[in-house]
Amino acid sequence: MAADFAATRAMFQLPDGVIYLDGNSLGPLPRGAAERVAACITAEWGGMLITAWNRAGWIDLPRRLGDRIGRLIGAEPGTVVLGDTLSIKVYQALASALELRPGRRVILSDTGNFPSDLYMADGLVRTLGQGYELRTVAPEAVEAAITPDLAVLMLTEVDYRTGRRHDMVRLIAKAHDAGALVVWDLAHSAGAIEVDLAGAAADFAVGCTYKYLNSGPGGPAFIYVAPHLADRVRPALSGWLGHEAPFAFDLDYRPGTGIERMRVGTPPILQMAALDASLDIWDRVEMPDVRARSITLSEAFIQGVEAACPTLELASPRDPEARGSQVSFRHPEGYAIMQALIAAGVIGDFRAPDILRFGFTPLYTTMEEVEAAVGILAGIMATSAWDRAEFRTRAKVT
């Protein structure tokens, strides 16, 4: 049965007069989230107090939500757990992967990775010392740079600026052939494209929930560890809720079973309540339908913009299979153009130096909105001075 995207759209609270093409940065509010969080606060926290950890099932939320997200990324049941931020989860996955490859000291990543992933890897490498190294190449050079000295390949599947998508299956196979493990950042994949972690023989994956998964500002991150690795890692971030028996309060750390050991501290229950409500919408759709609709919307946007705005240069791959669920265009005056778009009610975002980003999120974005956004963008480009020679010259002088 085809997904009913009119029904899913009705499950969001969207402001009037706004076309929201920034769900790749912060997803909008699922109507159910406000109610769910209110119930969590008043009935659970207020009414049950400390006993809610068991009575309201708070303590199991990180695992329960993990399984719900796992369905969307092709993860086996019991292999995903929620908690912390994506940056912390990157550190945790990287440290674990490095420990599984003793004697190897190189992390390979690319310059298209989200900077925080590189920063966290840098911090870990500095902490480890002893010759550990973060090596960074251009995205298109990654495959050739997979050499037998690698410990870990760390990539974000979909580039946050351009939407360019790495070939997960191929790169995992190549890395495994070289004896390396792979850590995938799915920040722009989970809920955006089809991901099959189990089918791709993935080792580690991490991601955030506040973009396509609509969990709200600062919603928790997730981490996936392949079942055959999960009991072999000893987490660097060895917090009490990852202990085999957290409430025994032992002085010595003993890692919990499987993915449980990737838990660290007390989980953010209010944020998790919002995520839980958001996932009710995701339960109504299958990723292949979402992906197909995302391609339809983004192709229409590209065609419309290229026809109407010849000075905007497509920064995303033209082949929809080679990109995620966003489309980016380049323009030297990108920042000002985006400000004008936002003022006109079309919310995308800008990434320096010259990228205009637009996210396509079938759960709530309609074809009518895509067409209207193209029209508004075309109007801005036509009536403003962005492309007039004297404007460019002036901009360069000042």
- Show binding-site residues: 86-87, 114-117, 156, 185, 188, 210, 240, 266
Among residues 5, 20, 91, 114, the one annotated as catalytic is 114
Would you say how long the chain is, in residues?
398
Name every residue whose Cβ is closer than 8 Å to that of residue 396 and which is 6 or more positions away in sequence: none
Distances (CA, A) of 103 to 93, 121, 163, 344, 381: 18, 18, 35, 56, 56
Catalytic entry in 301, 357, 358, 360 = 357
Tell whether residue 15 is a contact of a copy of itself (CB under 8 A). yes
Is 358 among the residues that bind a copy of itself (CB under 8 A)?
no
Which of 8, 11, 19, 20 touches a copy of itself by CB under 8 A?
Answer: 20
Site size with a copy of itself, rule: CB under 8 A: 87
Minimum distance between the CB of residue 237 and a copy of itself, rounded to whole angstroms? 6
Q: Assess whether 22 carries a catalytic annotation.
A: no
Cβ proximity to a copy of itself: between 161 and 176 the closer is 161
Q: Which of residues 243-282 bind a copy of itself (CB under 8 A)?
A: 243, 247-253, 264-272, 274
> Which positions from 71 through 100 interact with a copy of itself, judged by CB under 8 A?
84-88, 91, 95
Q: Whole-number minimum distance, CB 49 to a copy of itself, in Å?
A: 6
CA dist., res. 144 & res. 131, Å (int): 22
Q: Is 45 in the site for a copy of itself (CB under 8 A)?
A: yes
Single out the catalytic residue among 110, 159, 185, 349.
185
Compute the distance between CA of residue 328 and CA of residue 302 in angstroms, rounded to an integer: 9
Tell me how many helices (H) and strands (E) the chain has.
Answer: 14, 15
* Residue 301: active-site member: no
Pick out the residues of the known binding site for pyridoxal 5'-phosphate.
86-87, 114-117, 156, 185, 188, 210, 240, 266
Q: Which one, of 294, 348, 354, 349, lies nearest residue 165 by Cα?
A: 294
Binding mask 190-229 for a copy of itself (x = CB under 8 A): ------------------x-x-----xxxxxx--------
Distance CA 60, CA 69 (A): 14
Pairing, β 326-330 against β 12-13: unpaired
Of 93 and 221, nearer to a copy of itself (C-beta) is: 221
Helix spans in the chain (H): 5-9, 31-39, 47-48, 52-55, 61-70, 86-99, 115-128, 168-177, 227-230, 269-282, 287-308, 334-343, 367-383, 389-397
**Cα angle, residue 109 at apex, residues 80 and 213 outer, rounded to 5°:** 35
Residues in 315-354 that interact with a copy of itself by CB under 8 A? 342, 347, 349, 351-352
Decide if residue 33 touches a copy of itself (CB under 8 A): yes
Using CB under 8 A as the binding rule, whether residue 55 contacts a copy of itself is answered as: no
**Per-residue b/e over 318-349, b at no fewer than 16 CB within 10 Å?**
eebeebbbbbbbbbbbbbbbbebbeeeebbbb
Q: Is 60 a catalytic residue?
A: no
DSSP code of 388?
S
CA 305 – CA 308 distance, rounded (Å): 5
Active site residue 211: yes
Which listed residue (211, 261, 263, 293) is catalytic? 211
Among 32, 70, 191, 235, binds a copy of itself (CB under 8 A): 235
Assess contact for 61 and 269: CB atoms under 8 A.
yes
Angle at 47 between CA 46 and CA 48, to 5 degrees: 105
State yes or no: is 250 an active-site residue.
no
Q: Check residue 57 for interaction with a copy of itself (CB under 8 A).
A: no
Task: Spot the catalytic one: 5, 20, 210, 360.
Answer: 210
Query: Binding pattern to a copy of itself, positions 278-317, x when CB under 8 A?
Result: ----------------------------------------
Which residue of 34, 145, 300, 344 would you call a contact of a copy of itself, by CB under 8 A?
34
Catalytic residues: 114, 185, 210-211, 357
